[in-house]
Structure 1
Amino acid sequence: MSVLRRPYVLLVILFVLVIGCSAGAVQTASTPRGAGGPESSATRIVEPFVPPAEIPALGPETRAQIPATARQAVVVTGEGPDSNRSTVVLYSRDDPARGWRPGAGPWPAHNGMEGWTDHHLAGDLRSPVGVYGLTDAGGRLPDPGALLPYDEQSRFAVSGEGFLGEPLEGSFDYVVAINYNRAPGTSPLDRTRPLGGERGGGIWIHVDHGGPTQGCVSLTEDRMRELLLTLDPAKQPVIVMGDAGSLAR
């Protein structure tokens, strides 16, 4: 009797194996895509790479001067190398993957009476071309809520007339020091000149008086207030300044 049952047992085992394999094949084939199974390369969607946005109209030399840690940039673009009129746009880089984005502006501005220079000298009436840090602020008026360290001083008072006969009074009610030939971390009134006195100094962003400057950049008072409320030392702001041709290098 054991001899008769042995083929029967073998047939049962073979039947179970076949059914089990078939069931496994059906289950694998019915595994929904995206539920742990391999995805077909024919249906995979690959997002195109989008490089981070750059500040428009800046050339490779100028971009290379902007520190990688800077997340705010005041871009001052002069109308020409000998022009005293320019335009200001504030950019931010809060998401490195997205790059630079305009945040405020364009605002009309004035710069040095004689335009721009790559080698600023005291009394040349030109604004220095380049990328400089913005770390300190101040003015004759009380602090409007500036994020940068703010030095309120009566010594910011100014009088007299500008190049066009316009009154200079109130020009230094609000100022942001441009770190050209100065010691960062000090009042804009500090007269330390690391490059020497012959290379000039006291280059600021200040309140516009309706005419060209000695070498500073000037904005209307409301724009200066906005700038003071926006520039954040935690974002290591810089100013990128020069005529359009120089900035395109």
Structure 2
Amino acid sequence: MEKVGGRTLRVARWRWDMPGDHPPILFFNGIGANIEAVAPLAEALTDRPFIMFDMPGVGGSPEPLVPYNTFTMSWTARELLKRFGADTVDVMGVSWGGAMAQHFTLQYPGTVRRLILAATSAGMVMVPGKPSALSKMANPRRYVDASFMEKHFRTLYGGLTGGKSEHINRLTPPTPRGYVYQLLCMLGWTSVPMLPFLKKEVLIMMGDEDQIVPLANGRILEALIPNSRLEIFEQGGHLFMLTHREQTLSSIRGFLDAPDRDQKKAA
């Protein structure tokens, strides 16, 4: 538990003191999702440090007293990085966290080396998902009722459904206020005006059967971000990182380990 700017947050770090040449990965999770939901990804990336935290009212972080926004939460994340001595990071975000990852990168470009966006959009300027999936996504029963999650897993996440029981067992329900404040954080937010000025190298990963954030949103991001590329996961739903684990890991490593653009030009 770390107290930053008046907020207490549950923070998880992996391999933080491990010697190496790779910058840490700062990860922003999906809405209502706790650290454990992404822990397998952090554990699998064995060659680099990894840091993430539960948003207020989610997982082990105490319930927020006042709302927050993308600016204040990006500042909080940056203060955490400074506390742990990380001057440069690679940033990754999934779904709701993909929007936070975009905002953090735009707010602190000097801190970010590369950016990975998974199953996400440019905010309010987006192609919406299927109503049947969105209505169940907004229902907090998906966190507290395993049978509800089991019944609607394909509607919620589409594509392949391998590993769903393991995923369901890792989820902890957010508090009602924590969940609502996360929703309010992105109210009216969009990255569209700023994305053409984003100079980072960006990997966009999308599932072609995502019913919550359709593939078209990834194409919009690719069109707006100058130095980006889109990777499409066939039969991938909103949780393609779970169902396409090896492809996800290979894509992340390949992108983060590739030479910088300047090095490629010199070669």
Instruction: Kindly indicate which of the two structures has a greater share of residues assigned to strand.
Output: 1
- TM norm structure 2: 0.24
- TM norm structure 1: 0.25
- Which has the larger Rg? 1
Instruction: Kindly indicate which of the two structures has a greater share of residues assigned to helix.
Output: 2
